[in-house]
Structure 1
Amino acid sequence: MDTDALTPGLLQELRATRPYPALSLTMPTHRRAPDNAQDAVRLRNLVAEAGNRLDADPRVTHEARTAVKAQLDRAVAEVDQRRALESLVILADTDEYQIWQLPRTAPERVVLSDSYLTRNLVAAKAGAQLFWVLSLSAEHATLFSGTNDGLRPEPRDGFPATAPHEEPNPQREERIGDTPSTYSSEDARNFMRAVDEKLRGVLAADPRPLFLVGLAPALSLLDEVGESAKPAVGRVAKGTTAGTTAPELAKELEPALRDWRKQAAARIQDRLDQAHSGRSFAGGLDEVWLAVREGRAGLVAVEEHFEQTVRVTEGHLEPVGADATPAGDPQVREDIVDELVEAALDNGCEVAFVADDSLADHGRLAAVLRF
């Protein structure tokens, strides 16, 4: 599955306590040759490690060991390397498996616990800048899910929707001398009301920034008959059809997306500047980590590709070299940035990923404090 499939409800389900052992396997992957040639070998090695861990764990019964290994084997057989992004996450227990291909790197790791490891999923979703796109006309409404990597159609909650076909009415033409305007008929208004209702359900279940693409009369009518589209962060007055493809739509959206991202980055920087001036600011991994753990962070900004391996010592984080691993030292955390992001979101903190080097003066990440 892709990051945009990670709804709040699914995340809650993945975090739920389940019978031991729940196995989580994570590893970095590569999108293109020749680097991706190593991915299959790395995956085989991690699967072998997972099997050894299951065999050596006295808490795992023979039945559970056999069942988890079978689920893991099924997952590995289903992995499609042609769809590889920056990392692969496999979750498996005695009854199921899930495969996640993420646009954010993750360390090599095998974890046995009573719940799945979700921090890499959460961090990937937080960094993906997910958004919705509604392609609209008087005849159709198609929903697309958007990420940094592009768009894809999202068939859900009644989308795609097609307006009922209205047969020509010769008697009406004779009576008033013309045919009804495309956007003034009651049928068009009813269709837009139905679209508004469907869109309300989508945004309630998975709130994201919304972009609208369609001719100006269509967008105006949607605003007139409903409320769901009014908070849209971007509008592109361009005609579309039910056959408009995701790449075609993405090309039309490029200027609006650039403006949105630029404005969002400027708002984040303004908040950080004000916090720095007002002494409600934390900078650097250790300071931000403490602020998040204490629930004092209201906004955490992280450079997009910032990673750091650390050793946790008396509640503080000490950066260590890349050769340090949890296998050699249980206090070492390879994915501390993703762990921090998940903890921040759990505490109701806003998380923003910003351009690399934009926080170079603050240790690559910073926080606006609530108190």
Structure 2
Amino acid sequence: MRTNDLTDEVLAELRKPRPYPAVTLVLPTHRTKPDKLQDPVRLRNLIAEAGRRLSADPQVPASVRADVLKQLEQAENELDLVYTLDTLVVLAAQGEHQFWHLTRRAGTERIVVNHTFLTRNLVAARAQNRPYWVLTFDEERARLWSGAGEQLTEEHRFGFPVAHETDLSERERASRTGDVTSGYRDEAALQHLRDVDADLAKVLAVEPRPLLVAGLQHGLTALADVGTHTARGALATVPKGGLANARASVVQEAIAPARAELLRTRAETALRRLDDAKGRKEFVSGIDEVWRAAREGRLALLAVEESYREKVRLTGGHPAPVADDAVSDASGEVRDDIVDETVEAALDTEADVVFVAEDVLAGHGRIAGAVRYTWAG
């Protein structure tokens, strides 16, 4: 499965606890040769290492270990690594397995054995690939595209595509006389834009998403001035012609810079919200504070650096960082990745989760949040 299949319902199901052990494999993959030739070998090595960890784990009976290893091997057999993207995530537990191809590169290979699957890579990929709309148009045609990450699919609903029947005899006459009223100055062309605007308003009313609009500059200006002015709410415009009849791959390439800007804007907006929270004394930072706020359901916004993970020991209800080889003992339970648990808890209480670049939150322990309320006293 791919990032586009990651709905809220799917993520909620993946976050549910499983009978121990739930195994997650994370493998950065390659799209092109020669690098992609190593991916099957690296996956086989990860599965072998997961098997060794399960064999050495006293909490895993032999029958359970055999079942989970069988699930990992079935996933490996079902995978077609010819069509990899940037990251492969394999999930396996007793009686189940699945795998995800993500259009977002993980920092390192990982094997996580826990009571739940590691979902942060899936969450981050979905955040980066939030659905959006793209409108491409010219004087004769308008098309609506549903986007998620790098994938675009043309929509045939809400009245789209919108076609404008051109009077060829009038166009030929205008061409001979030089009286060309292009640029949306004639009433028929303006009515075409009103129709596009009306259908676009229906789209956003039923399925609100960020909107990108692509067309020639004079068309963008004209569309913004007609009907309900729906296009004025576009988060980005792409002043480029020739896209009304282009293939999805061509449209995607044209809007790529605008889409990247949307992602940057979302991160910047999150950082501004954190600054505002400081002024209201609703700001928390560091894994201890943020983890507790997430567990209490108080987080409205969680911001975390891309590659931040922390193995901790819970002592007296507080997480304390430990070495990678630490194990649970009488002094406290060890959690493999408290950051992932924090992300899951935030999502369970409908907080916004935003992943930001490295070192952006260096002064706040690499993780911070804005809370809905603070405790009195």
TM score, norm. by length of structure 2: 0.72
Match of 2:142 in 1: 140
Q: Does 1:318 align with 2:323?
A: no
Q: Secondary structure at the match of 2:101?
A: strand
Structure 1 residue corresponding to 2:253, chosen from 228, 250, 255: 250
1:1-371 alignment, distance < 5 Å: 1-12=1-12, 14=14, 25-31=24-30, 32=35, 36=39, 38-45=41-48, 48=51, 56=61, 69=70, 73=74, 76-80=77-81, 82-90=83-91, 98-102=98-102, 103=104, 104=106, 107-110=110-113, 118-126=119-127, 128=128, 130-138=130-138, 139-147=141-149, 151-155=150-154, 158=157, 161-164=160-163, 166=165, 168=167, 183-185=189-191, 189-190=194-195, 192-198=197-203, 200-203=205-208, 208-215=209-216, 216-217=218-219, 220-221=222-223, 224-225=226-227, 230-239=232-241, 240-246=243-249, 249-254=252-257, 256-257=258-259, 259-324=261-326, 331-370=333-372, 371=374
Structure 1, residues 93-146: CA drift from partner, whole Å, max 9, x if none?
A: 75x753212324573135577xx66454234423x2635240311413142525
Paired AA for residue 215 in structure 2: G
Count of aligned residue pairs for this structure pair: 350
C-alpha distance in 2, partners of 1:242/1:92? 47
Q: Secondary structure at the match of 1:323?
A: coil
Measured after TM superposition, the shift of residue 275 of structure 1 is 3.0
Measured after TM superposition, the shift of residue 369 of structure 1 is 2.5
Measured after TM superposition, the shift of residue 279 of structure 1 is 3.0
C-alpha distance in 1, partners of 2:26/2:298? 32
Change (3 A) 1:84 1:123: same
C-alpha distance in 2, partners of 1:277/1:209? 29
Measured after TM superposition, the shift of residue 92 of structure 1 is 7.0
C-alpha distance in 2, partners of 1:98/1:37? 17
Verify the 8 A CA contact 2:158 2:202 in the aligned structure 1: no
Change (3 A) 1:143 1:275: same
C-alpha distance in 1, partners of 2:267/2:70? 45
C-alpha distance in 1, partners of 2:60/2:265? 53
Match of 2:176 in 1: none
Q: Secondary structure at the match of 1:268?
A: helix
Measured after TM superposition, the shift of residue 343 of structure 1 is 1.0
- What's the Cα RMSD here? 4.5
Verify the 8 A CA contact 1:285 1:363 in the aligned structure 2: yes
Measured after TM superposition, the shift of residue 223 of structure 1 is 7.5
Q: Secondary structure at the match of 2:165?
A: coil
Verify the 8 A CA contact 2:50 2:111 in the aligned structure 1: no
Verify the 8 A CA contact 2:89 2:99 in the aligned structure 1: yes
Q: Secondary structure at the match of 1:130?
A: coil
C-alpha distance in 1, partners of 2:332/2:70? 25
Change (3 A) 1:30 1:367: same
Verify the 8 A CA contact 1:325 1:332 in the aligned structure 2: yes
| Percent of residue pairs bearing the same amino acid type | 29
**Gap runs ≥5 in structure 1:** none
Paired AA for residue 280 in structure 1: E
TM score, norm. by length of structure 1: 0.73
**Gap runs ≥5 in structure 2:** 174-178
Paired AA for residue 26 in structure 1: L
C-alpha distance in 2, partners of 1:297/1:89? 29
C-alpha distance in 1, partners of 2:2/2:328? 28
Structure 1, residues 200-254: CA drift from partner, whole Å, max 9, x if none?
A: 4443xxxx43322223536754784468655432222322233244366434542
Measured after TM superposition, the shift of residue 339 of structure 1 is 1.9
Paired AA for residue 302 in structure 1: V
Verify the 8 A CA contact 2:299 2:371 in the aligned structure 1: yes
Verify the 8 A CA contact 1:183 1:221 in the aligned structure 2: no
Paired AA for residue 107 in structure 1: R
Structure 1, residues 312-365: CA drift from partner, whole Å, max 9, x if none?
A: 2232111112333689x9933233212211211211222222221121111111
C-alpha distance in 2, partners of 1:22/1:199? 43
Paired AA for residue 184 in structure 1: L
C-alpha distance in 2, partners of 1:143/1:168? 27
Q: Secondary structure at the match of 2:269?
A: helix
